[in-house]
């Protein structure tokens, strides 16, 4: 099996709110010895305020945020450094923007879960700005990335470790 940590690699861990992007992304990046960036931390304050009030973001709200993420990925790759970022990346046009920023060298790990499981995980989570009420709009906005280049789809009905293992194995298989 090839060692996917050797080449500079850029990975977005994507999916709707509560799918496990932060939990999986952090652990995956640690396993690969990669720098992990929490995409939520890069939202302009106005976006966080909106989401905290239960108001879904628009494309216009998301573009500046996606561009910050794209710039971070481009900067890492330019230095020859691998990077993993958690980012909902719900629409295909968002992913295209991120791919363009990364010069085409971008993988996506899509965390796929049922509405019931997502609702449960968000409900059990404490101290996060994202209210459970926004899950519906997240699911409506999501354009499933399956079939796009560099995408691996992983079901989230498993332990964090199980999901990380599956993601690493599937990613390795397509590289």
Ligand X SMILES: O=C(O)[C@H](O)[C@@H](O)[C@H](O)[C@H](O)CO
Residues forming the site for ligand ATP (CB under 6 A): 15, 17-23, 40, 86, 121, 124-125, 130, 156, 158-160, 163
For residues 4 and 69, which CB has a smaller minimum distance to ligand X in the complex?
Answer: 69
Q: Which of 10, 17, 83, 85 binds ligand X (CB under 6 A)?
A: 17
118 touches ligand X (CB under 6 A) = no
For residues 40 and 154, which CB has a smaller minimum distance to ligand X in the complex?
Answer: 40
29 touches ligand X (CB under 6 A) = no
For residues 62 and 121, which CB has a smaller minimum distance to ligand X in the complex?
Answer: 62
40 touches ligand X (CB under 6 A) = yes
Q: Report angle CA 121, 124, 126 to the nearest 5 degrees.
A: 115
């Amino acid at each position: 099996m090839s060692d996917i940590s050797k080449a500079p690699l850029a990975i977005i861990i994507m999916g709707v709110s509560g799918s496990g992007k932060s939990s999986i992304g952090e652990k995956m990046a640690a396993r690969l010895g990669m720098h992990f960036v929490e995409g939520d931390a890069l939202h302009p304050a106005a976006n966080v305020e909106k989401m905290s009030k239960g108001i879904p973001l628009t494309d216009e709200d998301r573009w500046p945020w996606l561009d910050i993420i794209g710039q971070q990925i481009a900067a890492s790759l330019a230095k020859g450094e691998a990077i993993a970022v958690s980012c909902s990346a719900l629409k295909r046009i968002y992913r295209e923007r991120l791919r363009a920023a990364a010069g085409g060298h971008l993988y996506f790990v899509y965390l796929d879960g049922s509405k019931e499981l997502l609702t449960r995980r968000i409900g059990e989570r404490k101290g996060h700005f994202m209210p459970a009420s926004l899950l519906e709009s997240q699911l409506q906005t999501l354009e499933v990335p399956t079939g796009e280049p560099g995408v691996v789809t992983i079901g989230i009905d498993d332990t964090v470790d199980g999901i990380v293992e599956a993601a690493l194995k599937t990613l390795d298989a397509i590289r």
